[in-house]
Structure 1
């Protein structure tokens, strides 16, 4: 059972062979700002437009507060992706828009620092997150979307067991423009790569 402490996120960690997923902490502020700053040009084309104060302590506090609210209400679960040995910040991954009842589904979104891209970290992080979604939250389905020209993300999702399901016109406002996205889905019963996960 996830345990909450006053004014904080639950103390939990889900580790694969090389990476671990854990909720962000107040103490991660400097690392988050530094990693995002170094990867700004790499990340901006694939994300909603960054506000002018995107890399400030205030922006981090707002993000952390939103993540805490979503965890508590059960509608979203934001994680940092960290090196399992050093706890260095590699990126982030979120299970968002959790719907219950007849749907039992959620959406996944992710980012990784430029220096850690294309090294297999995100493939592992997605499998650890899917284990959390299907085994911990008992969801039926996880959905994802990527820009139609984002070949790296498309290949990552297909490799991770997602199936291409369609194209959504002007689906998300990315880099300041409404852009078409390809949509993907994976069911709890679908085949996917096996990654051992240790919860602590």
Structure 2
């Protein structure tokens, strides 16, 4: 298990016993998050499905291919989001993607920004990655602000990248390099 302490929150890699709280988080935010990501089959939102996803994530973490964290409030230790480094590639790439979602009740409070900053630091300092990438919908102004505050740079527009709820959607490609991170 990996735990990263922040000022107002902490990140902890998911374990089997998190399946129920993760299922609840996904169910509670199903329609809020569907503005920018696909709705899933009903089974996806079940405790059993999340238990299986957590097991898969734990296997991927053992071989340094993915790190999936819950975002928890520091005081109440409440699960309020999730954040991942995924599709981790070794040299010659030494890169990963970052993705995150915050409970609707906790948006616009700087939670995503704090979580992203901690995970970027972990990726560069602990995993020694060279590059982190993110896809974001041009409509997702909040997430664009999070990435730009974390010093990610927009590299371009990927046309009709993802099929979301019946429509092909464009996404921006953002990235941050280790040497850019060290300048800040």
CA distance in 1, matches of 2:75, 2:119: 19
Distance 1:26 1:54 in 2: 16
**Match of residue 110 from structure 2:** 120
Query: Would you tell me which structure has more helix in proportion to its own residues?
Result: 2
TM-score (norm 1): 0.86
Which of these residues, 69, 74, 79, is aligned with residue 59 of structure 2?
69
Q: Match for residue 90 of structure 1?
A: 80
1:45: how far off?
A: 1.9
Displacement over 4 Å in runs of 4+: 191-194
Alignment of 1:33-52 (within 5 A): 33-52=23-42
- Structure 1, unmatched stretches of 5+, are 1-10, 195-200
Distance in 1, Cα, partners of 2:181 & 2:22: 34
RMSD between superposed Cα atoms in Å = 1.7
For structure 2, list consecutive stretches of 5 or more residues without a partner in the other structure: none
TM-score in terms of structure 2 length: 0.93
What whole-Å deviation, never above 9, does each CA across 1:83-108 have from its counterpart, x for those lacking one? Answer: 12322101000101111112111100
RCO higher in structure (CA 8 A, sep ≥6)? 1
| Partner residue in 2 for 1:100 | 90
2:126 to 127, 133, 136: 136
State the partner residue of 1:151.
141
1:81-132 alpha-carbon deviations (Å, 9 max, x no partner): 1112322101000101111112111100111110111111110000110011
> Conserved in 1, the CA contact under 8 Å of 2:16 and 2:55?
no
Displacement after TM superposition at 1:75 (Å): 1.2
Deviation track 1:118-157 (CA, whole Å, cap 9, x = no partner) reads: 1111100001100110000001110111012111111111
